[in-house]
Amino acid sequence: MFRFRRMTKSDLVKVMHWRLNESVSQFMQTEIKNDIGKQKQWFQHISNDPSFVYWVIEYKQAPVGALNLADIDLKKNECSWGFYIGEPSCRNLGGLIPPYLYNHLFRQCRIEMLKADVMDNNHLVKKLHGLHGYRYKGTVGSDIIKGDESIPLCRFTLAKHDWLAKKRFAKFNAQFENTPQTLLL
């Protein structure tokens, strides 16, 4: 049902349009412009930095969103992550995505701890993190400015042992194409 394939240059226009959509951008920590040149620069940067991995989420063989790892620290075996569903007709799939990632990272990779920074007004994701066993660590860094609103950024962490204790999600397995060898067990 789901497949996660590494993002390529041919995905950049679609990814940029997803990110520019208000339903996605309202919960993003950064703003982007409708500028394919800047998008290509961003892609070049993340492609050459081993602390990032980006996948396109495919559902029934069609691209529907993006998922990423960031701040990968192999000394501590931890990283941050984020995702969004860009296709409006597939937004209801968003709650299904995290267990696939958790099972991949905690069963097949070296990651022991995941960090997730969530804008305080993103109530659905905060609730989903609670369901998955995340622990709230407090607010981090500067608030995110959206228009004339200042929104706190909340840090959550999920430990490998907490996730693996949740047998309910054990069947959520999918292919993660081209996971860097440095992450794999």
pLDDT at 9 over 90: yes
pLDDT at 43 over 90: yes
Give the model confidence (pLDDT) of 132-161 as tens digits. 999 999 999 889 999 899 999 999 999 999
Enumerate long-range contacts of 140-143, CB under 8 Å, 24 or more apart.
Answer: 141/117
| Level-2 CATH architecture, domain 2-176 | 3-Layer(aba) Sandwich (3.40)
Instruction: State pTM to two decimals.
Output: 0.94
Decide the pairing of beta strands 135-139 and 153-159.
antiparallel
Name the token pair of 79.
């990283």
> Within a 10 A sphere around the Cβ of 157, how many other Cβ atoms?
17
pLDDT in the model for residue 147: 87
pLDDT in the model for residue 141: 85
Name the token pair of 113.
């701890």
Residues with Cβ < 8 Å from 172, sequence gap 6 or more? 96, 99, 100, 102, 103
pLDDT in the model for residue 25: 87
Is residue 61 within 8 Å of 12, Cβ to Cβ?
Answer: no
Give the model confidence (pLDDT) of 78-98 as tens digits. 999 999 999 999 999 999 999
Whose CA is closest to 113, among 156, 82, 159, 68? 159
Quick one: pLDDT band at residue 29, thresholds 50, 70, 90? confident
> Within a 10 A sphere around the Cβ of 47, how many other Cβ atoms?
14
Query: What does the domain layout of the chain look like in residue ranges?
Result: 2-176
Is residue 67 within 8 Å of 15, Cβ to Cβ?
Answer: no
Work out the percent of the chain whose per-residue pLDDT is above 70.
Answer: 100
